[in-house]
A and B are shown apart, each in its own frame.
Chain A
Amino acid sequence: MEKKKKIKNRVIFIISVILITAFLLLLQRLLVPKYVDGIVEGAFIEEYYREDKDFNVVFLGDCEVYENFSTVKLWDDYGINSYIRGSAEQYIWQSYYLLEDTLYYEKPDVVVFNIQSLQFSESQNEAYNRMSIEGMRWSPAKVGSILASMKEGEHFIEYVFPILRYHTRWSELTGDDFKYMFRKKPVTFNGYYMRVDVKPAENIPNPRPLGDYSFGDNAWKYLDKIVEKCDREGVELLLIKAPSLYPYWYPEWDEQVVKYAEEHGLRYINFLDHTDEIGIDYSKDTYDAGLHMNLSGAEKCSAYIGRILRDEFGVESRRGEEKLEKAWDAERAAYNAEIERQTEVYGLK
């Protein structure tokens, strides 16, 4: 009798533990931000895992890649199957670990890395850490990214159990939090975040002179790691600086990158030096006064880089691959629908 009671209690205990764990996991799902409206940047990294992961070109970097290059345009014009693994203010070590993560799944022909993030040698903002890291699937790369990114006051366990980070969101839950608990709607087009509105670049603030223009050791360390990783994996690396007018890209910074690229035999393109050639018109091609390109600017930049990728890096067109054609057709349809939607929202019709 006693034995039976003991077994019964154990069974109840195990079932209770399972139920409590399930309940807490559901609660966690509910409380984590969904990034489907308003601030959507936190959703970008996660979307990569829905893809087939067979890309020829992978872009790495911050907003200067995910807003300045249209993957749909690259497919349409060059048949280049590309993806952008970028998130807001993505630090260079985060780009490195995303590269590691990407190379675990696939081996692209070319990795395009935007060197804007060289200016940061340590994480500046916990929210940006979250947006870059949370979307990653658990892997040694994710662990590395967390450890390299954590600021003082952040805890590793809060990445493992995000409920500990977002426990206060109970007071700001919306219908979307329930609706997108298990499946989120995509907010990018192969990593490209589209904006069609226009805000001309006027009154660009004068650059503030810096005391020291040298990039930090930590930033260089991770650029070295990116170069080594690409080299080891046989992936070509293209360094770029996207054509954002602000935050200011100092010539002193550019010189250091030029020198580094020369020393390592890398191709480096500063888009700011080629704006005429690309055809960028800062009165029409930016949606936030020169910080980021809008759709028009992004398509021009894509046309430009596509040519380089094809002509200089030999990235071949994959047009004619039935599965890809189908996937891109669907992507283009969604892309055009979004153009339509935004045109209406911003009153551009």
Chain B
Amino acid sequence: MLLTSYEFIGFLALVIIINYLCPKKARKYFLLAASVLFYATAGLWGLLYIGAITVLVYISSRLIGKNQEAYAVWAKENKAVLPKEQRKAYREKQAGKRLLFLTVAVILCLGVMVIGRIPGLIAPMGLSFYTLQALGYLIDVNRENIKPERNFFKLSLFIGFFPQLVQGPISRYEELAPSLFEGRDFDIKNISLGVWRIMWGFFKKLVIADRLFSGVQTITSDTSKYRGAYILVLMILFSLELYADFSGGIDIVIGTAKALGIDVQENFIRPYFSKSLKEYWRRWHITMCNWFRNYLFYSVSTAKWLQKFSKFCRKRMGEAFGKRLPLYVATFIVWGATGLWHGFTWNYFVWGLSNWFILMLSEELEPVYEKIRGHIPFADKLPYRLFQMGRTFLLVCCMNLFDCYSSVGDTLGMFGSIFTEGNFGILFDGSLAGIGYSLSDAVIIAAGLLIMLCVSLLQRKGSVRERILRLAPPARYALFTCLLVAVLLFGIYGVGYDSTQFIYNRF
């Protein structure tokens, strides 16, 4: 069930109504039933995957939890009785046991994810998202950040909460669980905020992203015809499409949850306003980045072998670089894994590593940049900040090209053609009219992007929706009607259109 389908809208309306009609305590069970139904519409086969991962994570977390409890009792009883060394040995033994439970569960879950992601097999919807969410929960239990959930159905709801199943965000248990299990009372404000957010998501997805899609498709479908400056255009169009598509989908997810009284974490904070790649990755797909930082980076950087390597580096290469090198090794692993999480192809792997390379290079060149900035009189002024934003955006656009072509060779070849083809004239001679946009398409895309930009600018001073809700009712309703009519008239949907899946659906 696509988030922009009629079926989803009908399903959502029913779920919201029944949810609030249900007794408070029963709401979580109803939401679980709704989530199972939602997932079943994507094929019963997918239920097997999510079911297997949920059972696996439940059993492991319970085993880990029991071990933690048993150890805590043992430690209390033996604190004054046994010597420190003996207690330490026992603690390490128990930690080893828990690590074993965790490792087995992680390997099995990743195994399920890998099987589901084998090219040629039909990947169950949202597999990568809920697998990471489930593993994050398990690692948090093992780290004693949270207590293991005893109620299997509650854990199932956390892993399989239906709006998140399609394309995330990847929530942390302690952030999502309180509102997910609370069964909040009906609040018209939540409904209003939710509906506004859903409509805004529809606008971004159907009006902007899906309209941009045809041009992107035209350029990527013919590598002999569309080269050179066309690739420059493609990079920009695709990056805008990707943002409108992914953030639009997340808006629908967060809006859906909000309407049900559930708080889901934000996944984007105006990423294309970032002044560096480092900042960009703090503002784009935040929950995924947090996951890799909290669970993978932390685990790798505290691993014994890396600690040893760190000591070795500091000894041989000096304190400063010797400290940084192990970090680069850890981030190399994290970015390689991030690339592979997007897909088991060389393209995604190289995409991940290029991010790592640029981030590492930026870190190493920071003193140089600092010096250059010192010589620029307007370094803290708007024009320079705009330059930084433009530079970061272009950098991201270049790397997004890996998502447009199926092989590294094609991607690099197409990127190289920008400099070798010498056809920049097409940007001005009307040739771009041939990439699949009519004049009305171009006007709608331009207007849509402008509206998105204005909303992003307004967002810097706080939630736009909250401000709209504070407007006088007639103004509020008029604005809502405008948004509704824009989606209805200018959205790409219905017969004649093979509405594109959300791009992040496939991960």
- Give the contacts of A141-180 with B (CB-CB under 8 A): 153-155, 157-158, 163-165, 167-168, 170-171
> Are B495 and A158 in contact (CB-based, < 8 A)?
yes
Measured as residues with beta carbon below 8 angstroms from the partner, the interface class of chain B is: 10 to 19
Interface of A is mostly: helix
Chain B residues with CB under 8 A of A153: 495, 498
> Are B473 and A165 in contact (CB-based, < 8 A)?
no
Within 8 Å of chain B (Cβ to Cβ): is A16? Answer: yes
Chain B nearest CB, measured from A7 CB (Å):
13
> Are A165 and B495 in contact (CB-based, < 8 A)?
yes
Within 8 Å by CB of A164, from B481, B494, B498, lies: B494
> Are B488 and A163 in contact (CB-based, < 8 A)?
yes
Chain B residues with CB under 8 A of A170: 489
Considering the complex, give the chain A residue whose CB is closest to the CB of B440.
Answer: A171
Chain A nearest CB, measured from B495 CB (Å):
6
- Quick one: given A12-B473, A167-B489, A171-B440, are A23 and B495 in contact (CB under 8 Å)? no
Chain A nearest CB, measured from B473 CB (Å):
5
Within 8 Å by CB of A23, from B474, B481, B494, lies: B481
What's the Cα separation between A16 and B485 when bound, in Å?
Answer: 15
What's the Cα separation between A167 and B489 when bound, in Å?
Answer: 5
Chain A nearest CB, measured from B411 CB (Å):
33
Within 8 Å of chain A (Cβ to Cβ): is B491? Answer: yes
What's the Cα separation between A157 and B488 when bound, in Å?
Answer: 14
Interface flags, B457-498, vs A, CB<8A=1, else 0 = 000000000000000011001001100110011010111101
Within 8 Å of chain B (Cβ to Cβ): is A345? Answer: no
Considering the complex, give the chain B residue whose CB is closest to the CB of A17.
Answer: B477
- Quick one: given A20-B481, A155-B6, are A167 and B474 in contact (CB under 8 Å)? no
Chain A residues with CB under 8 A of B485: 24, 27
What's the Cα separation between A88 and B286 when bound, in Å?
Answer: 54
> Are A16 and B495 in contact (CB-based, < 8 A)?
no
Chain A residues with CB under 8 A of B473: 9, 12-13, 16
Considering the complex, give the chain A residue whose CB is closest to the CB of B5.
Answer: A155
- Quick one: given A9-B473, A13-B473, are A167 and B488 in contact (CB under 8 Å)? yes
Chain B residues with CB under 8 A of A164: 6, 488, 493-494
Within 8 Å of chain B (Cβ to Cβ): is A126? Answer: yes
Chain A nearest CB, measured from B49 CB (Å):
26
> Are A158 and B474 in contact (CB-based, < 8 A)?
no
What's the Cα separation between A147 and B480 when bound, in Å?
Answer: 33
- Give the contacts of B1-26 with A (CB-CB under 8 A): 6
What's the Cα separation between A157 and B5 when bound, in Å?
Answer: 11
A-B interface contact total, Cβ < 8 Å? 47
Chain B residues with CB under 8 A of A126: 495
Chain A nearest CB, measured from B313 CB (Å):
59
What's the Cα separation between A24 and B480 when bound, in Å?
Answer: 13
Chain A residues with CB under 8 A of B6: 155, 157, 164
Chain B residues with CB under 8 A of A23: 481
Interface flags, A14-47, vs B, CB<8A=1, else 0 = 0010001001100100000000000000000000
> Are B494 and A12 in contact (CB-based, < 8 A)?
no
> Are B481 and A158 in contact (CB-based, < 8 A)?
no
Chain B residues with CB under 8 A of A27: 485, 488-489
- Give the contacts of A230-287 with B (CB-CB under 8 A): none
> Are A167 and B494 in contact (CB-based, < 8 A)?
yes
Chain B residues with CB under 8 A of A12: 473-474, 477
> Which residues of A are interface residues toward B (Cβ below 8 A)?
9, 12-13, 16, 20, 23-24, 27, 126, 153-155, 157-158, 163-165, 167-168, 170-171
> Which residues of B are interface residues toward A (Cβ below 8 A)?
6, 438, 440, 473-474, 477, 480-481, 484-485, 488-489, 491, 493-496, 498
A-B contact sample (17 more), CB < 8 A, given A16-B477, A164-B494, A167-B489: A9-B473, A13-B473, A13-B477, A20-B480, A20-B484, A23-B481, A24-B484, A153-B498, A155-B495, A164-B493, A165-B494, A165-B495, A167-B488, A167-B493, A167-B494, A171-B438, A171-B440
What are 29 sample pairs from A and B whose C-beta atoms fall under 8 A apart?
A: A9-B473, A12-B473, A13-B473, A13-B477, A16-B473, A16-B474, A16-B477, A20-B477, A20-B484, A23-B481, A24-B484, A24-B485, A24-B488, A27-B485, A27-B488, A27-B489, A126-B495, A154-B495, A157-B6, A158-B494, A158-B495, A163-B488, A164-B494, A165-B494, A167-B488, A167-B489, A167-B491, A167-B493, A170-B489
4 shortest interchain CB distances as A-B pairs: A16-B477, A12-B473, A171-B440, A157-B6
